[in-house]
Amino acid sequence: MAQALEPTNLTHHFLIAMPGVSDEPFARSVVYMCEHSKRGALGLVINKPSDISLKSLFDKVDMPLRREDLSNAPVFQGGPVQVERGFVLHETMVTGTDESAYGSTMSIPGGLEMTTSKDILEALSTGAGPRKIFVSLGYSAWAEGQLESEIGENSWLTVQADPALIFDTPIEQRYEKALGLLGLQSWMLASGVGHA
């Protein structure tokens, strides 16, 4: 009797879209995986900026943004699910307790957190908050077994995440740099796999 394979946990990994993936928002996308379990997966596309800046987002929610370093930063299109909702990916805030500094926060193994509560925006509006942040509207989600199926269909490459790619790498270089984590470049990947 064949033994079932233990599912791979891709939390704190990047999904890198293969060239054959052409539908938006996933064409040439890099997705940071916040959670992956038997129930499904949740991630944020890290290389698709929207036309909204953080300053204009704060203006929309009637808060000042007292962080000059962030005012021109873009808000990203994290994925097609709940596109009106904000998600803030940031470094772990040391609080001296086991609890996060913010309300609705998911701790991600690898030293990052994803917060969805307004208190992180309030901290940023006062000039405080995490030093490095990534803000998206919307997220990407996969139902149970769906991501594994897409990987099996050669839609995604996976690699251990490097937070520097999220916070320190220019947006237009993120796809190539993510491939570089695997020792690849986009020209090495055939866009029509299986076609002569």
The dihedral over CA atoms of 120, 137, 104, 12, expressed in degrees to the nearest 10, equals -100
Q: Which amino acid is at 138?
A: G
Neighbouring residues of 101: CB distance < 8 A, sequence distance ≥ 6: 93, 95, 123
Q: pTM of the entire structure?
A: 0.90
Longest dimension (CA), the chain: 62
Cα separations in angstroms, 138 against 27, 110, 133: 16, 22, 16
Q: Is residue 6 part of a domain?
A: no
Domain membership of residue 132 as a residue range: 13-185
Q: What was the pLDDT predicted at 106? A: 92
Which tens digits make up the pLDDT trace of 144-167? 999 999 999 999 999 999 999 999
Which tens digits make up the pLDDT trace of 72-88? 999 999 999 999 999 99
Count: domains in the chain: 1
Residue whose tokens read 């803030």: 88
Show the DSSP H helices in the chain as ranges.
54-60, 118-125, 146-152, 163-167, 174-180
Which tens digits make up the pLDDT trace of 45-54? 999 999 999 9
Q: Which amino acid is at 176?
A: E
φ and ψ at residue 90, rounded to 5 degrees: -155, 165
Q: Is residue 4 part of a domain?
A: no
The enclosing domain of 25 has a CATH number of: 3.40.1740.10
Please report the sign of the dihedral spanned by the C-alpha atoms of residue 172, residue 178, residue 184, residue 187.
negative
Residues 30/178, Cβ–Cβ less than 8 Å: yes
Q: Is residue 2 part of a domain?
A: no
Strands (E), the chain: 13-17, 30-37, 40-45, 49-53, 74-77, 81-91, 105-108, 112-115, 133-143, 156-160
Q: Is residue 170 part of a domain?
A: yes
Q: Is residue 131 part of a domain?
A: yes
Q: Is residue 42 part of a domain?
A: yes
Q: Which amino acid is at 4?
A: A
Which tens digits make up the pLDDT trace of 129-146? 899 999 999 999 999 999
